[in-house]
Structure 1
Amino acid sequence: MKKLTVLQTLPALHSGGVERGTLEIARALVAAGHRSIVVSNGGRLVDQLVREGSEHIQMPVHRKSLASLFQIRPFRRLLRELKPDIVHARSRIPAWVAWLALRRMDPATRPRFITTVHGLYSVSPYSAIMTKGEVVIAVSETVREYILTNYPSCLPERIKLIYRGVDPEEFPFGYQPSAQWLAKWQHDYPQLFGKKILCLPGRITRLKGHEDFFQLVLALKACGEPVHGLIVGGVEDKKRGYLLELETRVTELGLQSDITFTGLRSDIRDVFSKCDLVLSLSTQSETFGRTVLEALCIGTPVVGWDQGGVGEILRECYPEGAAQSSDQKALIAMVAQALHAPPNMSPIIKFHLNVMCKETLAIYCNTLTA
């Protein structure tokens, strides 16, 4: 296989599934001897990206405004200088910038254009750019069906289903944290002592099902269950008002001693290992559900709404945790059952990271030889 130069582009490198997927493919490219370049507006993950052998070029391809069109010419100049074999766009604004830059280049020599649909975007001409790739990667069957239903001009043979994956070495079954980590955890969160811990992971946004989580904790507490709810996830500046709403709601429900906001954690594996149950309660379908898979990989049970990518993972790996969407009574009953009789968990044998990386690199190579 010849050495490839692959340029991935996304808005920024702060946190989230798109960002982590970008780093994972970048790492796989480097390990295979290829040149890996990422174009974004930067962020806290840039240092890790560069440390792992990739190059990062900062460019403001993150603004959802017409001003981003001014990046088309600089992006085209960058492509002519770097001469990548593949341009892989992972979000709408960077995809528009890349696609419009490529249109003015010689079709015989320009890079090949690939997209990954990470979200169930609003259906519009603006979102349609994510279906313009020569290959369109869908991160779950839910996403593949979304594309086929809403963008009939995207032929089925151009869509390739590649599930996201988790590294079983990073999230080993039966994982237990170090004594040092555990001592600090107990020092930082003494309110968790003697409680059954329920965890709702994810960034602080209105779609993550916080109200359902509060009602779940409230109902279990009313039944005498010694539960404590952990909300694990960072908050962007523009979402701080919503975080204040959540904190106010906790007070209104009298749950100040029963709910803890941990903020962003880089030790989610350790956190999951000390939880009795992880929840996935998004009010809209998730495209995949990485945190669900991470928890299941180490052996922590999960209960979540049976919809979207989360439903796909649960049905395949842990069907006992798939709750009928929005059925709060069923959710409470399932969680109570899992707490009273903890299930016997088994190692996860699907959705592995190495499969995702291998299939993505194969697409890069096959696209160049097609």
Structure 2
Amino acid sequence: MQQRKLKVGVICYPSLGGSGVVATELGLKMADRGHEMHYITSSKPFRFLDAHPNIQFHEVTIEGYAVFKYPPYDIALANRIAQVIESESLDVLHVHYAVPHAISAVLAKDMANSSIGIITTLHGTDVTILGHDPALKNTLSYGINKSDRVTAVSRSLRNETIELLNPITPIETIYNFIDEEKYYPHEATHIREELGIMPDERVIIHISNFRKVKRIPDIIESFRRVDKRLKAKLLLVGEGPELFDLQEFVNEQGLQDDILFTGKRDDLPALLSSSDVMLLLSEKEAFGLVLLEAFACGVPAVATAIGGIPEVVDDGRNGFLVALGDVQAVADRVTQLLTDSELHGKMKKHAIETVIHDFSSDQIVLQYEALYYEVAAMRR
């Protein structure tokens, strides 16, 4: 017998970060499957440029009151969630990040006098940073333990959460995924022409929000050490708090002609398809969604063997893993990839296969859908 379609409340950051991408891609896939998805956020999630008949947006507005030093977003969010639970007769809440979103969802559930189930997805920093903060550790535990189901985007993050917090609620690993209809090898000659990259130059790419945790100076130093016989360019794609210092550093090193800061771009599949190697040298990374995006476009990676990265990068098959901070090893592996066309071709093939076989959106969306039905049935 066919199961009825669900009404799902989604609470996430409407941003370009990995959690925002996954939350919106999942919502679009669920909406395509006939479920009603209700996004309760401070602004419209960035992917919802075109209206979908099964997606609704409920804005959280924050009033300024003199008594508050800072606007109480978590309280305003809880109030809006409670309103939507009642007005839309939601079946389940899916919140991305335990703090503050799970806390707001728990409060909203109580405010609405509802038995609605709460699924919390942990994406990384809510555990890897807040879990080590004595002022927030108990709050994080509370949000997790008050959830009916908890998922983590990698086994590494799941294990770290259990070790740090010893939660009551079991944690299930459900991996991230990407939109395969968007990320695939594109013809990208125009990108190279736009950026002034010569036909005989190889391209190394890094995409992030330029925070210290991404260790972009390691990327720059690794690039500087890549075999000088190679003609290569490094693309640094994105923006963030480290941007100005990184630009100054590149100028000081005299690398401004070979390291290109592209800013934020909407054409990531084309940028990736014009590249030969992806670098991700972070010191913390719960999953590394950008690795999947690169793999889908046929770009092998050199990445640090930390967090959830080894669950995505199969060392020697679709890329190489290196120790944190070992810039010479990075340079050696990049040089190896850029000088051995047979090796690069095999890794390119295996990178695409990784996305298809291990991180298919179809199989991961079905895992979430089964979880939605389970929690909705539990609480009905």
TM-score by structure 2 length?
0.85
- State the Cα distance separating 1:243 from its structure 2 match: 1.1
Asked if structure 2 preserves the Cα contact closer than 8 Å seen for 1:3 and 1:33, the reply is yes
SS at match of 1:283: coil
Q: Does 1:296 align with 2:301?
A: no
Q: How does 1:1-370 map to 2 (within 5 A)?
A: 1-11=3-13, 13-43=14-44, 45=46, 47-48=48-49, 50-51=51-52, 53-60=54-61, 67-71=72-76, 72-91=78-97, 92-106=99-113, 109-119=114-124, 120-123=128-131, 124-132=137-145, 133-155=147-169, 158-172=170-184, 175-177=185-187, 182-183=189-190, 185-220=191-226, 223-235=228-240, 239=241, 242-284=242-284, 286-315=285-314, 318=317, 320-342=319-341, 343=343, 344-345=346-347, 346=349, 347-348=353-354, 349-370=357-378
Asked if structure 2 preserves the Cα contact closer than 8 Å seen for 1:148 and 1:154, the reply is no
Deviates more, 1:352-361 or 1:122-131: 122-131
SS at match of 1:199: strand
Unaligned runs of 5+ in 1: none
CA RMSD of aligned residues (A): 2.4
SS at match of 2:57: strand
Cα deviation digits, residues 256-276 of structure 1 (max 9, x gap)? 111101111122111111111
Query: Partner residue of 2:134?
Result: none
Aligned length: 351
- State the Cα distance separating 1:44 from its structure 2 match: 6.0
SS at match of 1:8: strand
Asked if structure 1 preserves the Cα contact closer than 8 Å seen for 2:204 and 2:277, the reply is yes
- State the Cα distance separating 1:316 from its structure 2 match: 7.4
Distance in structure 1 (CA, Å) of the matches to 2:117 and 2:162 = 22
Asked if structure 2 preserves the Cα contact closer than 8 Å seen for 1:27 and 1:52, the reply is no
Cα deviation digits, residues 140-189 of structure 1 (max 9, x gap)? 1011101211111334xx211111123444333xx232xxx533x24421
Identity %: 21
SS at match of 1:325: coil
- State the Cα distance separating 1:290 from its structure 2 match: 1.2
Distance in structure 2 (CA, Å) of the matches to 1:204 and 1:152 = 32
Letter of the 1:30 counterpart = A
SS at match of 1:251: helix
Letter of the 1:117 counterpart = L
- State the Cα distance separating 1:128 from its structure 2 match: 2.8
SS at match of 1:77: helix
Asked if structure 1 preserves the Cα contact closer than 8 Å seen for 2:8 and 2:92, the reply is yes
Unaligned runs of 5+ in 2: 132-136
Letter of the 1:230 counterpart = L
Asked if structure 2 preserves the Cα contact closer than 8 Å seen for 1:165 and 1:355, the reply is no
Distance in structure 1 (CA, Å) of the matches to 2:271 and 2:163 = 38
- State the Cα distance separating 1:69 from its structure 2 match: 4.5
Distance in structure 2 (CA, Å) of the matches to 1:49 and 1:159 = 34
Asked if structure 2 preserves the Cα contact closer than 8 Å seen for 1:192 and 1:228, the reply is no
SS at match of 2:210: coil
Distance in structure 2 (CA, Å) of the matches to 1:52 and 1:233 = 32
